[in-house]
Amino acid sequence: MDQRISFVTLAVGDVARTHAFYVGGLGWVPSTYVEGEVLMIQVGPRLMLSLWDRAAFEAEVGPIASGDGVPPITLAHNVATREEVDGILLRAEEIGAGPLSGGQERDWGGYTGYFADPDGYRWEIAYNPGPIGEVVLP
Amino acid sequence: MDQRISFVTLAVGDVARTHAFYVGGLGWVPSTYVEGEVLMIQVGPRLMLSLWDRAAFEAEVGPIASGDGVPPITLAHNVATREEVDGILLRAEEIGAGPLSGGQERDWGGYTGYFADPDGYRWEIAYNPGPIGEVVLP
């Protein structure tokens, strides 16, 4: 098994709401959209983000752990400057993302902040000046 | 905000156990490993998988929703044939992954099965003969 991820799939409560956020709000271009079922967006050279109706997810994968609190995952979107971090967080706020955590300096030398998509999935917007940060930038 | 994911971060209960699974079991090569804190593995041309100590995750992102059930996310690893799906699921079983769902034909025309990593994160091993499946293959 090569060290590759091909899809990241997140269970979402309302695919139309998710579409309004990622396509309407962020302006991302879907590869596939089936109303009420799934929205797929290409998010890397060989990588898809699949936002899948929660009921269909549970039918195939199993009942999801629920309760108060955040999902045990974050997705990061890395950029080349602190200013881009702040700009994207501002844009996310404008399209209704929340809650947000404003950009801050991190112990490891970067500068990052978070916003939540409509299902609470956290996106970290990150400036990482180290070697790992360089690997992930376009 | 471009449609890009740079990092997928999963909160894990025991980073050493996670290292034993991904590095010891699957043979993946870390980009970074800090005992008890974080394991990072490059899983795409500009993509990192970050397996981060749960306590540190919660300190930065917030308390995680817990309870019975599966995490609301899956990662997929796509391959070019049904036989590779079966072979990887067998290998996952050998290194202690579980629970597993054996390969099966799916309504959308593919053939997939799942295994769980030590924290219950599901990996779907997928053969997808459609256009989206071609996009994600190396």
pLDDT tens for A45-104 read 999 999 999 999 999 999 999 889 999 999 999 999 999 999 999 999 999 998 999 999
As beta bridge partners, residue A8 has A49, B75
Q: Where are the domains of chain A?
A: 1-57, 72-138
pLDDT in tens, B128-137: 999 999 999 9
Interface test with B, best of A5, A10, A128 (most B CBs within 10 A): A5
CATH top-level class of B73-138 = alpha beta
User: Which of these CATH numbers, 3.10.180.10, 3.30.420.40, 1.10.3720.10, 3.40.50.720, describes B1-59?
Assistant: 3.10.180.10
The whole-angstrom separation of Cα B80 and Cα B85 is 9
Task: Give the distance, in angstroms, between the CA of residue B27 and the centroid of all CA atoms in the same chain.
Answer: 14
pLDDT over 90 (residue B66) = no
A vs B, Cβ pairs < 8 A, gives 206
Q: Which architecture characterizes domain A1-57 according to CATH? A: Roll (3.10)
Q: What is the dihedral of CA B58, B43, A134, B8, to 10 degrees?
A: -20
Facing B7 at nearest CB: one of A64, A70, A136: A136
Q: Which two tokens stand for residue B68?
A: 């019975």
**Looking at the whole model, is its pTM more than 0.90?**
yes
Which residues from B are below 8 Å from A32, CB to CB? 132
Q: What is the ipTM of this complex?
A: 0.97
Nearest residue, CB atoms, B44 vs list A4, A41, A62: A4
Q: B50, B38 in Cβ contact below 8 A?
A: yes
- The CATH number of the structural domain formed by A72-138 is 3.10.180.10
End-to-end CA distance of chain A: 25
Q: Quote the mean pLDDT of chain B.
A: 97
Beta bridge partner(s), residue A38: A34, A52
Q: Is it the case that residue B67 has pLDDT exceeding 90?
A: no
Q: Would you place residue A138 in the very low, low, confident or very high pLDDT band (cuts 50, 70, 90)?
A: very high
Residue A45's pLDDT is 95
